[in-house]
């Protein structure tokens, strides 16, 4: 199959004001099979961000106290410390239904508040159909002065309890 068959053309995107290229070549895709591997790599990459770099993320559920590694840091600590170092931190997290319905209202709000208090910006979004949610889960790390170092994580792993599992499948200790 030709690469052109995998991606939308500019006409199919139907966004005449976008200056973004339709697609790019020369990218590296590296699978991170388990949540523990993803969280570990995320800590390494976020720790390498400096002033003026960017950390963008979306999440369905974010538990601020979820440890990214067995000895930490937590999600909130990792992203808040980045903001304190001068990294531009922007997040879009689902503004969950009430916790009485067994969702993540308090957790998402707490994550947002922790990052915002450190100088980042995390919006809680509920522009969904009644009873619905958004399920976007990604992190994009940009280095404006060195774009060859940019990294994006996609694949649907929330920054929350139960996601830091590994190949042994004993589960996330915080689940």
Vertex 147, ends 123 and 90: CA angle to 5°?
5
Per-residue pLDDT for 109 more than 60?
yes
- What is the Cα–Cα distance from 138 to 154, expressed in whole angstroms? 5
Q: What is the mean pLDDT of residues 159-168?
A: 86
Domains and CATH numbers, the chain: 31-153 (3.30.870.10)
CB contact set of 27 (below 8 Å; sequence gap of 6+): none
Higher pLDDT, 111 or 15: 111
Look over the chain and give the mean of its residue pLDDT values, rounded to a whole number: 86
- What is the Cα–Cα distance from 60 to 96, expressed in whole angstroms? 8
CB 93 within 8 Å of CB 106: no
CB 174 within 8 Å of CB 160: no
Residues 36-82 have pLDDT tens digits of 999 999 999 999 999 999 999 999 888 899 999 999 999 999 999 99
CB 111 within 8 Å of CB 76: yes
Residues 5-34 have pLDDT tens digits of 777 777 777 777 777 777 778 888 999 999
pTM of the model: 0.83
């Amino acid at each position: 199959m030709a690469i052109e068959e995998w991606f939308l053309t500019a006409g199919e995107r139907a966004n005449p004001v976008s200056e973004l290229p339709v697609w790019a070549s020369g990218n590296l895709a590296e699978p991170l099979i388990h949540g523990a591997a993803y969280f570990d790599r995320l800590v390494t990459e976020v720790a390498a961000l400096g002033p003026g770099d960017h950390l963008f993320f979306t999440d369905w559920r974010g538990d601020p106290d979820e440890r990214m590694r067995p000895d930490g840091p937590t999600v909130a600590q990792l992203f808040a410390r980045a903001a304190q170092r001068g990294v531009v931190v922007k997040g879009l997290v689902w503004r969950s239904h009430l916790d009485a319905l067994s969702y993540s209202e308090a957790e998402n709000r707490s994550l947002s508040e922790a990052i915002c208090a450190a100088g980042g910006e995390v919006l809680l979004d509920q522009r969904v159909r009644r009873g619905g949610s958004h399920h976007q889960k990604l992190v994009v790390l940009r280095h404006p002065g060195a774009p060859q170092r940019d990294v994006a994580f996609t694949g649907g792993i929330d920054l929350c309890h139960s996601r830091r599992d590994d190949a042994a499948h004993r589960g996330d200790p915080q689940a």
